[in-house]
Amino acid sequence: MDHSDATANPVAQLLVVTRSLVELTDRAMSDSELSRAAADVLVFAARQAARLVEDLVSVRSHDAMRARDFVQSTSSADLDRAYTDLECLAEAAGMIRAHGIGSQYRAHLAYLMRYAAESACTALERAERSMTRAEALSGMATTPATALHI
């Protein structure tokens, strides 16, 4: 996927960010510690990604024709899961930043944050597949029957 593909698809943008969060938390796990500077980056990036998820859900929910279908779809539940995971990640990183958690606890928090980042990625990947499938099916529904018979 190139840059233009990512900017055309908001879920693809979110996946780029959450995959970066996975890498950052993975490094924190391997270092057995998470610095305050890394925690600052995680808080900012995770909160921004959570806001992007909120914006995406808001846009999808305001489309009157597809709102009900979207709310009932698996992509809606997956986006909710991603939002929750991203907020969890931001809160955990915020604890390190605000309270100076001791190094023995930072390793545990790094592990939990990595799990949250991976979970958000998985949920976004499922949402992307579900949304792509739904858009393909809705495109087929609007195609005239004669165009399907080549």
Angle between helices 74-99 and 10-31 (to 10 degrees): 40
Q: 136-144: which pairs have CB atoms within 8 A and are 24 or more residues apart?
A: 138/66
- pLDDT tens, residue by residue, 23-48: 988 887 776 667 778 888 889 999 99
Q: What is the mean pLDDT of residues 44-71?
A: 76
The pLDDT of residue 33 is: 64
Residue 100 within any structural domain of the chain: yes
The pLDDT of residue 96 is: 80
DSSP 1: -
Residue at 65: amino acid letter: M
Q: How many domains does the chain have?
A: 1
CA separation (Å) from 39 to 11, 88, 147? 24, 13, 54
Domain enclosing residue 73, as ranges: 12-133
- pLDDT tens, residue by residue, 101-144: 776 777 778 788 899 999 999 999 998 888 888 777 776 654 44
Residue 150 within any structural domain of the chain: no
